[in-house]
Structure 1
Amino acid sequence: MAMLTHDFERPARSLGKQLYDRSDAGKARLVMLKRFCLCALTVLLAGGAVAAVIALKTAIYFSHHHF
């Protein structure tokens, strides 16, 4: 009897294994986390560049005024 039901159990096991296999979900989360970190780093670098330009313009402005 086990030989007759063995073929029917195999697809169910592989399907269940695919449903509970979290390696693809883990990879997707890692990709989303990397993308978020890259976007956050880009925003921070752009903000730093804007702050540097403002600081440079301020330094040039005050260098023209001799107290």
Structure 2
Amino acid sequence: MMTPEFLRDFRKSLGLKQADFGAWLAARLGQDRPYAPSEISTWEKGNRPVSYAVQAAIYKHLWEGCR
């Protein structure tokens, strides 16, 4: 399970604000609607677990960066 700290650190490493990160995630997941900053915030505060789809998109991005 992805920790709130890992998610926040990952977003900040991309240099993105929560709204931009929501759009970044939506683009990678093929969604029309970006994730709202409030949803990103609930994950980063640990109030809700990060969905497996979002975790997969992040880990895939990291994996592709290692090749």
The interval holding the TM-score normalised by the smaller chain is under 0.3
Q: If the length of structure 1 is used for normalisation, what is the TM-score?
A: 0.24
Q: If the length of structure 2 is used for normalisation, what is the TM-score?
A: 0.24
Q: Using CA pairs below 8 Å that are at least 6 residues apart, which structure has the higher relative contact order?
A: 2
